[in-house]
């Protein structure tokens, strides 16, 4: 286990130190949840177009449950179960970290950004793939970029990201199944 933790630290330092001031603005943009609102609005329009008003309301409820689940699960892992210091706070790592985030939380295992973005990617990708040919790969690539931004800005190890993405995939698939059931039962024919 120690070798795996050291590999995670070494990989973090390698990836984090690939950064340059020329790219800092882009990665800070990608990591900020509020800057993703235009994407969310476009997705909402597609859900309305393909699922109608009742399907859109169901979508909003399922997405609210999905984001709540990823955030609370991440907080449970970070602050109760593992309490692993973030790289920007860890002795032997922080002094070599290229830290550009506005703040550094205390604990980081696993990444809530990675979990929620991948959960949303799988949910929307699966729900809209019949209607939009490239939505699934687009959303997965978007999630990977958002997730990597957490390494770039200095607040998560690669292991935090991979774990968050795996949990996000599971929750996203579950949300898709719940959404499919609810739309069949309560949605309208569009």
- The pTM score is 0.90
pLDDT in tens, the chain (190 residues): 788 888 999 999 999 999 899 999 999 999 998 899 999 999 999 999 999 999 999 999 999 999 999 999 999 998 888 888 899 888 888 889 888 888 888 888 889 999 999 999 999 999 999 999 999 999 999 999 999 999 999 999 999 999 999 999 999 999 999 999 999 988 776 5
| Residue 92: burial class (beta carbons within 10 Å; 0-12, 13-18, 19+) | exposed
Q: What is the pLDDT of residues 53-72, one digit of tens each?
A: 999 999 999 999 999 999 99
Tokens of 120: 């949303």
pLDDT at 187 (0 to 100): 78
């Amino acid at each position: 286990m120690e070798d795996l933790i050291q590999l995670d630290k070494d990989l973090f330092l390698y990836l984090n130190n690939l950064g340059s001031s020329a790219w800092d603005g882009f990665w800070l943009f990608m990591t900020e949840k509020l800057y993703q609102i235009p994407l969310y609005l476009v997705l909402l329009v597609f859900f309305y177009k393909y699922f109608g008003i009742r399907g859109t309301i169901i979508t909003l409820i399922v997405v609210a449950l999905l984001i709540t689940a990823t955030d609370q699960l991440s907080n449970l892992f970070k602050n109760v179960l593992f309490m692993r210091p973030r790289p920007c706070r860890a002795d032997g790592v922080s002094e070599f970290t290229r830290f550009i985030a506005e703040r550094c939380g205390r604990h980081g295992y696993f990444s809530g950004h990675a979990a929620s973005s991948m959960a949303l990617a799988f949910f929307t990708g699966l729900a809209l793939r019949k209607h939009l040919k490239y939505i699934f790969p687009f959303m997965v690539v978007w999630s990977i970029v958002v997730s990597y931004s957490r390494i770039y800005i200095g607040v998560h190890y690669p292991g935090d990201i991979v774990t968050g993405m795996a949990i996000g995939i599971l929750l996203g698939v579950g949300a898709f199944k719940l959404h499919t059931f609810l739309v069949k039962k309560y949605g309208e024919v569009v």
